[in-house]
Amino acid sequence: MKLKELQQVVAEFVEQNQLETNVKHRLLDLVSEVGELSKEALKASAYGAGDFKPTTAWAEELGDVLFSLICVANTSGVDLEEALKSVLSKYRVRMSSKGSPESGH
């Protein structure tokens, strides 16, 4: 499924379940979900003491982050396919000129 299709599926789910809210709340939800993903990463690596071994909740938490990110994009009118194409182009330029995708800031 393409990102545009995913965005549409999520938009329909949000509408059907009356989950509409503003971008501030969407962003807070995304940050919360990334925190939960981070907690799973800590568990998966014995708090950094061992190799990363995904927990049973890892994929679900990634799904929660993706859902929340798509909701942020939808609420703020961002086409994620176009945003990703743009950022990959930016990173390609940086890689060819500096050998790194970092901005240097």
Q: Indicate the pLDDT class of residue 105, thresholds 50, 70 and 90.
A: low
pTM of this prediction exceeds 0.75: yes
CB 101: neighbour CB atoms within 10 A? 13
Domain that holds residue 44: 3-98
Q: Is residue 90 part of a domain?
A: yes
Q: Is residue 105 part of a domain?
A: no
Q: Is residue 36 part of a domain?
A: yes
The string of pLDDT tens digits covering residues 7-46 is 999 999 999 999 999 999 999 999 999 999 999 999 999 9
Domain total in the chain? 1
Q: Is residue 104 part of a domain?
A: no
Residue 79 CB-density burial (10 A; 0-12 exposed, 13-18 middle, 19+ buried): middle
The string of pLDDT tens digits covering residues 38-87 is 999 999 999 999 999 999 999 999 999 999 999 999 999 999 999 999 99
CATH number of the domain residue 39 falls in: 1.10.287.1080
Cβ(29)–Cβ(74) under 8 Å?
no
